[in-house]
Structures are given as C-alpha cells and as structure tokens.
Structure 1
C-alpha cells in the first residue's frame, strides 16, 4: 500500500525499520533528559548545576564531532551508529544502577552525562550522514528529515510527561532504566537495515588534512556557510527555555515534577506542529524563508516566557519556542543535505552537528545568568539574540536559495 504524501518516506523499507527503532529509543532518551534535570535540581537546588548537566552531555559533540565526520567519510556510518547505541545503552544502565541503589551524586551524574556526550559526538554525525542513504531517493530526502524531526519531537512531547509521572511515583531511577531497555529496539531495527556498499575513498591524506578540506569546502560554499553560521547562534540561545524549565516549574510557578513534564511537553507540541507543517511541503524551494521565520518565532516565544505571569501564559510560549527550533534546524538540515557533495557529507554534517552542539555553552551562559540575575532575564536575553539572528539571516536568504537551486 502506498503511504500518504506526508508519510511518503515510509515507502523506503530501510527507513521504516530505522524509524521504528527511533520511536522507542527517543522516548526513553527524553525520559532520561527530564529525569537528569530534575534529579540534579533536587540534589543541589542550584540553576548552575542544571546548566552544567546540559553542558556535560553535549560539549563533547562540539569538540569531537568534526573528527567523527572524518571517520564517517572513511568508514561505514551504519556500523559506527550500531556501536554508539550499545555504548549508550551501557551508560543509561549505569545511571539507573547508581540512582536506584542510592549512590548517585551530583559529580557522578555530571560525569555520566559527559560520557553520554562523548557517545553523542559519534552518534549524531552518523545519523546525519545516514539521512540520504536511508531515503534512497532525493525526492524523499526532505520528508525523511521532517519525519525524523516529528519523531524526535513527538518523543519530546510524550517522554517528559511520562517521566514526570514516573518521577513523582517511583523516582527518576526508573526513567533511566526504561531508557536503557529502549536501546534494544533501535539495535533490533538497525540490524534489519541494509544499505548499498559505499564506494571506497582514497584516504592517503592525514585525517587533519581531510578535516581542513571539509571545513574549506563548507566555508567556500555560499549556502552551506550561511547556514552553518546561523545554526550555532540558535543552538547557543534558542533553547534556554529547555534548560531553565525546572526553575520555571519549581521556583516561578511553584509546581512539581509534573509541572516540569507539562512545560517540556509544550515544547514538543510546538515542535510537532512545526514538523507537521513541514511534512506537507512538496519541495525544498522556499526553505530559506522558513529558517528566518523559525528564528523569529522561537525568539518571540522566549521573550514571552520571560514575561509570563502564569503557567497558562507560559505554556503556549514554550510551544512557540519549540516550533521555532524545529523550523530552523529541520529546514537547515534539508538545505545542507540538498547542497552538499556526497563525498563530503560526513564532514559537512558533522559541522552541522557541531553547530547544534554549542547548546552546552548556552547551558553554562544561561545557567550562570539565571543564577546571578534570575531565570526570566536569562531567557529574555536569549530571545533577543534569536530575533537579531533572524534579521541578519533574512538579509542573505536569497543567496541561500540561489545556491541550493544551482546544486539541483
């Protein structure tokens, strides 16, 4: 049976298997993210430590993703991704064991989040490099990226809400345990993915020479360069609401773990709406305007959160911030995948992952600002940065459109 247009990527058997595993695994990932933020806030009560958990889980991606990109362009990204899933399963199991046995401390939690970050430095660029092969057809590429985004954000919608109730009922340790078990699904699914053999690359050059070649290629490409410069700005400022959600839930709105779950789920609602709208598109034409719109919507949502007088006001603002992030990241991903040469896909998409992963620096800046001046001011500043970035990108979006059309 032919799938409907907005699910057309499911016509690829490999992608169907991959997506099944992701649906289960990402749900567990979001439960763990929520539980880790809540646990560190309960243990220390300091927004700085909340920011530090986010920093530790992603700073390795910022540092090591470009080197992973070189490895991916030389090796099989599917095999590398399978390895990353096994390592991530062991890390989640360690989180569960320490928490359930009462031995978890703030340093242990931050340390294990750092381990997860090292694993992500390999895993995330692998996922990006596999996007095109999983699609199997350029016509399906945009839909694959959008469905990946919808899956990610549907998990973001459901996972934190489930985590909130589990934490309130039996504690955060069980969230970590469920996450460890969820990796079985993705490993099972990846075992059924069979991609065509890649053409071997001659790689006599030193890995650092390969890395320089990839960076030079990206910076000399007008479309790729502009996108890769915008993504880290949004990664730095566009997700402040997620990091400070425990502070807004506990201190500002005087709620509990369920309040946190609802706020983080609101981000998922907005992201899901944005992903659904992108899935109805039939071509990549005009995506540069969507990127600009996303940065503006996300920035406006953050400013709204900063001045929210109540939970009811904050909920739609969290949703707007979530929608903006998806519009920017999913559209940027599609534009990059459409423009990049195949033999440099791993390196360029690792730079994209690196740009997304300035998020941990945002965690530190946001956490420190919130600790010194309060969470509302920290979120307001982040929102203004996103609005300025939207204006700057809008001035050159016609060049992005021209470069992508030339690639086709």
Structure 2
C-alpha cells in the first residue's frame, strides 16, 4: 500500500451498506417506569428503528419480549410500515437472534441509558470477540432517521481495494448465512488527499466506517515503516475509536495482492512467467511467507541481504526449497515479482469461481477475518425463512 502523503486519492464506499442493530430489553422497564407510552420522542425513535428494518437498511434484531411489548403498548402509534416490519421480524428467526449476536463481532446496541448523550456513541467490548466491539447509542438519537440510516462506509486506499474486500464479505455471507440478505453496492470516489483527512471527514459526517488497511511490511516481524499508511491510520483512529462508530481492520499481510494464491493467478495468466520458487513455496510448511512477500517487487539477493529481519524470515523457506544463493547475482531474484496490471480483474474472476473454503490454509485467517468483519457492514436483513439455525456457524 502506497503512503498517502503525496496527494494520492483514497476512496470511501458510501451508502448502500448495512449493519447489525439491536434494541436493548431495558426499553421495557424504562418506558413502563416512566410512563412513556405516549412520549413522542420515544415513538419517533421506535418508528425510526423499525423503518431501518422495513427499508432493509440494516439487520434489525429485537428480542421476542420487546416485540410483544411494542405491539401491546405502541400499536396505535407505530406507522403501518413499521408494524409490518415488526411482524416480519417476529416471524423470521427471532429464536436465533442470540446466535446472530454471537456470530458477528460488531453490532450497534440501542439503549435507554441516559448517560449516553443524544447523537453520541459509547464503545464497549464484545464479550464474544476480543477484536470486536459494541457501539451503544441512546434511543433518542433515533429521532433522526439518518443517524443510523444510510451513512455506512468502508474506507481503504483505492476503490479497487474496497471492491475486492466487499466481494469477500458478500461471499462470506452467501456461503455461511444463506438466510441473510445483503445489498449490491457501488463504489463512489471519496475524499482526495491522505487517509487521515478521510477519517476526519467520515467521523464529522457521522459515517459508520470500517477502515481496512494492509501493513506494507515485507516480513511478519518487520516494524511498520515511518509514515506508512497503517501508521497514519492508527494515529488518527485512536482519536475517534472510543466515541464513534469506527473500526480498523488491519490485514496480516503485505498488501491485498498477497491474499490470492500465485498458482490461481497463473491459471488465468498462462502467458506470464512465474517464479517456480514462488509456486513451490505454496506447497511447503513455510507457505505463510507468501503473506509478506512483495509480489510487485519480488525479493532479490541484494534485498535479502539488506535486512536481517527479512533474511531471518525467509531463510527457512530458502533452505527447504534448496535454493542456491551462491549461484545468484545480487540483482537476481530469489522470489520473483509476479504482479500483473490485471490483478484486480483476475482476483474478481477467482473470487467469483472459488469458494472461500477453497483458499489454502495460510490465507484462511485473513480471508475469514475479512469476511466476518465486512459482513457486519453489509448485512441488510433476513430472507423469508424460519430455518436459520442450520446456517449458524
């Protein structure tokens, strides 16, 4: 990933994305104890919440007790479309709501906690996912439908990056949760300049944003380069992560190009000469080195000797492959570059043909993490089925 300090554009995938939103059971006690059945702000908040489901803006989760309470106490106040949404939620898989919340690492929780100010966010840990989180908001924030409406985005360096990551998320949902819906989305150019500015603008506009960033490292234990994109992102992310619907997902890889096996690329690009060493490395116990190999630049003997960290990282792979370094000139490749200008086309073609379960073991952690977290940003609702349990992981 190039450093975004030189005026390069970054991109936001804006709107047309969705999230998982739950309303807290504490609403029942709060409304009852304070006699708020006729409170217009509460009614507006409930209507907005249910409209998110009716419009398939988000996967809305409501406990059965809350559904019955809403129907009993607000049936005459709730809009007809929202009543329909409530009935649909009740009829579609209410019994697996807990499984949904446990299966996905991120969701929004609508609460009645008055310590959370209107239009503000409190971020808490997700007890089921150490890397996940729960974004808590006050129900009065829902008086404005747009607060949780369409302002949902994925932020990465290029539009092609966002397209690639989004496709992984769609495939993950399709393969693992065939009872859930996601909407097709389009990529719109976001804010020019560096990614720091993009994060600032997203937070200011109350975009619910997933940031996806690679490491640009050329060995697993190599420190981040000064001024690299991920370092800039982490600095900016720390400013807002405890008060905004914002999450940073960092790949355990050099770049997104490392997430497609070289052998699969070769199948689509037969006219290109690939380094035999790279292809053979896929079939060794050190295939994980392919996660940080620079596919665009390759690894020459000169680069190998220039860094003790890189040397130590690739030594076991070089030894197991029996590569004779003494026979190579400094500028010759130990592992050649294999990047193609058509990589994005090839990657999309591969993702459309392959199941995620077919990815080799060394890639599965990255692929599954991407699929799981992106799913939290693209899921829009349920299909008409009451057999959801068979799809829960």
Give your verdict on TM over 0.5.
no
Q: Which category of TM-score, normalised to the shorter sequence, fits these structures?
A: under 0.3
Taking structure 1 as the reference length, what is the TM-score of the superposition? 0.22
Q: Which has the larger radius of gyration?
A: 2
Report the structure, 1 or 2, having the larger strand content: 2
Q: As a proportion of its length, which structure holds more helix?
A: 1
